Amino acid sequence: MTTAATTTPDVQPSDGGAGREIVRQRLLLVLPTTAEFDSRTYRIASAAARRGHEVTVVARSAIGLPDEEVHPEGYRILRVPSRLVDGLPWRKAGRLPGSSGGQPPAAAVPVDASPRPSGTRGLRGITGRAWRVAGRVVGSVLRRFAIPLVIRAQRLGARSVAPPADIVHGMAYMGIPIALDLARRTGGRAVYDARDIYVDAANLARSPRWLRWFVGRAERGWARAAGRVITVNEPYAEVMARRWDIDQPLIVMNCSYRFDPPAEPDGRFQRTLGLDPETRIVLYQGGFSPDRGIEQLLEAIDLVPAAALVLMGYGRLEASLRGTAAASGGRVFVMAAVPPEELLPWVAAADVVAMPIQPTTLNHRLTTPNKLFEALAAGVPVVASDLPGMAPIVRASGAGRLVDPTDPAAIAAALRSILEGSPDERRVLREAALRAAHEIYNWEAQVERLFGEYSRLTGRRW
């Protein structure tokens, strides 16, 4: 098994108050989502609240979610509008009538929206097809301008509700400019939590070079303005330090709290889905997005007898995945995401967790996803991509199999090697996963690094 020093480099913050009593302080977390399923925010906020700190999360409003609520762990969540229209230059700070607690997510620009005039062939004879093309062009242009408008909208909303804070912790590249603004206004210290290499991730990786340059340039400025940059693994930290010409970011891995799972899966998936109790469960949990390996898993599961693939999560592929599941003859199931505090018992009920993330971007090649550490915490073997981010952890822990994520047949073979193993072989894998989580990859250890940095920044112990 790898040592803590190997996987979590020794970038310890200075004392910042060690040896003194914890002093109650104010933490403000800013994130560009609704905060429903953000496990990292949940872990930071819950750990700080348990120590007696005053914790507030500023998130985005959405249909069906309250503008303000108190989480069972004792921290407050405030949601503000972040629609494109709320970020227009003539908008002022403050909640607008009808703009809270029921608005769709700001980034939802209708890609395929096609403005059509009345009439069979449209205005001046332009065909419906031409209008659809025009709609896609307009949607593309809007998306290019969406980033600054959405940031501005959330910043204006946050100004009207966010309390003063000693630490303002900005999540992701669309959270840090808001955090910096709030820190300047209240005198707090801003922290940038760069959880991905954003210009090399998701839609930005496929965007025009000029847009990637613009976002990268802005992110570099935000990172340099923050009191500290934090990220989730060593490969990311090295890229960020080089690109932004900053000190090596502090590494706070996305590990879960220690957890004691049942000795064997408790059958909750089989009961919930009406499956035979002997059915083996292959679990994918997380975002339903392209390049996460979901498509490859859908092909692979046909080659794994007596097993079902459960996709638990949310995202823009959900509707198509539900259609695929309905036509799968009981081999594929889609389940809604569960809150972070309820997740580990569900993960522990799986027989294997699969994460064949595709090597399509630099961000994916270097990633160490939440689901990897959640599987370890739940004591469940993994089938993971043989990529530089994940592979060292899986290989050193002995908690699963590494595969070529682009090859469904290889994924299926790795799944079968675990599911068809003897009870003793499966037990060894589970014990290896749980041992790695308890000894190294746990939030209890990671949060001490984070709070040590908070202490350094404020001069008072967290």
The CATH number of residue 450's host domain is 3.40.50.2000
pLDDT value at residue 7: 34
Residues 327 and 420 in one domain: yes
Summarised one tens digit per residue, pLDDT across range 270-290 is 999 999 999 999 999 999 999
3 state SS of 227: coil
Q: Is residue 213 part of a domain?
A: yes
> What token pair was written down for 245?
């010409």
Residue type, 126: I
d(CA 354, CA 344): 15
Tracing tokens 């007696």 back to the chain, one arrives at: 52
| Strands 352-355 and 332-336, sheet pairing | unpaired
Instruction: Say whether pLDDT at 108 is over 50.
Output: no
What is the pTM assigned to this prediction? 0.84
Burial (Cβ within 10 Å: 0-12, 13-18, ≥19) of residue 103: buried
9 or 72, which is more confident:
72
Residues 156 and 43 in one domain: yes
Residues 307 and 433 in one domain: yes
Summarised one tens digit per residue, pLDDT across range 150-209 is 999 999 999 999 999 999 999 999 999 999 999 999 889 999 999 999 999 988 998 999
Q: Is residue 165 part of a domain?
A: yes
Residues 220 and 292 in one domain: no
> What token pair was written down for 429?
């894998």
Q: Is residue 123 part of a domain?
A: no
Summarised one tens digit per residue, pLDDT across range 287-299 is 999 999 999 999 9
Residues 397 and 448 in one domain: no
CA distances from 326 to 285, 320, 402, 445 (A): 18, 10, 30, 42
pLDDT value at residue 354: 98
Tracing tokens 């949601």 back to the chain, one arrives at: 79
d(CA 364, CA 387): 8
Instruction: Say whether pLDDT at 457 is over 80.
Output: yes
Residues 342 and 229 in one domain: no
Q: Is residue 40 part of a domain?
A: yes
Residues 275 and 376 in one domain: yes
Residues 403 and 317 in one domain: yes
What average pLDDT does the segment 243-255 reach?
98
Least Cα distance to 441 among 348, 352, 379 occurs for: 379
Summarised one tens digit per residue, pLDDT across range 39-96 is 999 999 999 999 999 999 999 999 999 999 999 999 999 999 998 887 877 766 544 4
440: number of CA atoms within 13 Å, CB side? 19
Q: Report the range of poorest mean pLDDT among 141-150, 171-180, 346-355, 357-366.
A: 141-150
Q: Is residue 132 part of a domain?
A: no
DSSP 8-state secondary structure symbol assigned to residue 376: H
Residues 173 and 248 in one domain: yes
Confirm if 157 and 82 have CB atoms less than 8 A apart.
yes
Q: What is the SS3 assignment for 254-284?
A: CCCCCCCCCCCCCCHHHHHHCCCCCCEEEEE
Q: Is residue 111 part of a domain?
A: no
Summarised one tens digit per residue, pLDDT across range 127-142 is 555 555 555 545 555 5
* pLDDT, mean over the chain: 88
CA distances from 137 to 84, 207, 213 (A): 17, 14, 21
Task: Give the confidence band of 143 by pLDDT, cuts at 50, 70, 90.
Answer: low
Residues 84 and 167 in one domain: yes
Residues 85 and 212 in one domain: yes
Summarised one tens digit per residue, pLDDT across range 398-450 is 999 999 999 999 999 999 999 999 999 999 999 999 999 999 999 999 999 99
Residues 191 and 222 in one domain: yes
Instruction: Say whether pLDDT at 13 is over 70.
Output: no
Q: How many domains does the chain have?
A: 2
> What token pair was written down for 228?
């500290």
d(CA 308, CA 351): 10
Least Cα distance to 316 among 171, 67, 105 occurs for: 105
Q: Is residue 395 part of a domain?
A: yes
Q: Is residue 64 part of a domain?
A: yes
- Residue range(s) defining the domain that contains residue 316: 268-439
pLDDT value at residue 396: 97
pLDDT value at residue 456: 97
